[in-house]
Chain A
Amino acid sequence: MLSLAKRVEISKFFFWLALTLVVMNYTAGVLVYRSYTRKLSNAKALCKIRFEDGSILGEVSIEGFEGLKIRPVDYQIYFYDRRGNVLKMVSNSMFGRSEADFVTSAWSNFQEEDWHARGYSNVSIEWLWLKVNLFLPLEVKIE
């Protein structure tokens, strides 16, 4: 059996150990979260598309992930008409590269500017002990 003084010392040690760990864990969590969201807010997924005699030429690029290890997984681009029907869908794997391009045939009468496009990209990100799969909206620009 330990003496009373020894027991008080041990319980004090555990108290300060627990408090330090809780505070350090909290601070580290908040700092990591803050810098992670700051890094992510600079990130962008872009898609430039061009129409050339009946076909669509597109370039997908993912940029702005400074300091993060990223692996782009895939992308999907949807072309909708005014009522929200899908005219065309383009999707492919990115194979871990941050750039990809595609060529596909356009739908009939695409010249009528009565449609809009929306896209998504899945990216897996590694940073410190974080491993996250993120769903990025794709900005579609028409040239």
Chain B
Amino acid sequence: MKKIVFFAIVMIIAYHAAVFELLLNQFSPLPASLVWMLLLVLSWCVGHELGHFSKTLWVLAFSFVAAGILSYILIGHYMKETLQFVVQTLTMKAVSVSLLVFFTASVMSAFFGFMFKPRK
């Protein structure tokens, strides 16, 4: 249970950082693609550490929804003064496609982590 809570918190942070990376792309030092790779590494670890894949899937799905809500609230807090070029990158299409892609990619990566873990 402790492990599940720990990984849920880690994945909430990771998903939230990935969503904000879409908005803060040019403001943050690392490129968006690298942040996605790091997210996949973290998902892999979740799949690797938890005993059953059903648990992993629960953790990922819960963190994804929670991070989405958190991001939605924090966007209003951090980005009151939206700059024109930030708004331009915020097109609905790009955001929704990216969300779908990195969620499915992260679930797949976690599944591989679960698949290739050493059995006793």
Which residues in A have some Cβ–Cβ distance to B below 8 Å?
4, 7, 11, 14-15, 18-19, 21-23, 25-26, 28-30, 32-34, 36-37, 40-41, 129-130, 132, 134-135
The docked-state distance in angstroms from the alpha carbon of A28 to that of B24 is 10
User: Is the CB–CB distance between B30 and A130 below 8 Å?
Assistant: no
Which A residues touch B14, using CB under 8 A?
A: 19, 22
Closest-by-CB residue of A relative to B18 is A22
Which B residues touch A4, using CB under 8 A?
A: 118
Known: A21-B38, A22-B39, A26-B16. 17 other contacts (CB 8 A): A14-B41, A14-B45, A15-B41, A15-B45, A18-B41, A21-B30, A22-B13, A22-B38, A29-B21, A29-B29, A30-B78, A32-B27, A32-B28, A33-B24, A33-B79, A40-B83, A135-B84
Q: When A and B form their complex, what is the total count of cross-chain residue pairs whose Cβ atoms lie within 8 Å?
A: 77
Known contacts A15-B42, A18-B41, A25-B17; is A34 also within 8 Å of B26 by CB?
Answer: no
Which A residues touch B21, using CB under 8 A?
A: 25-26, 29
Closest-by-CB residue of B relative to A4 is B118
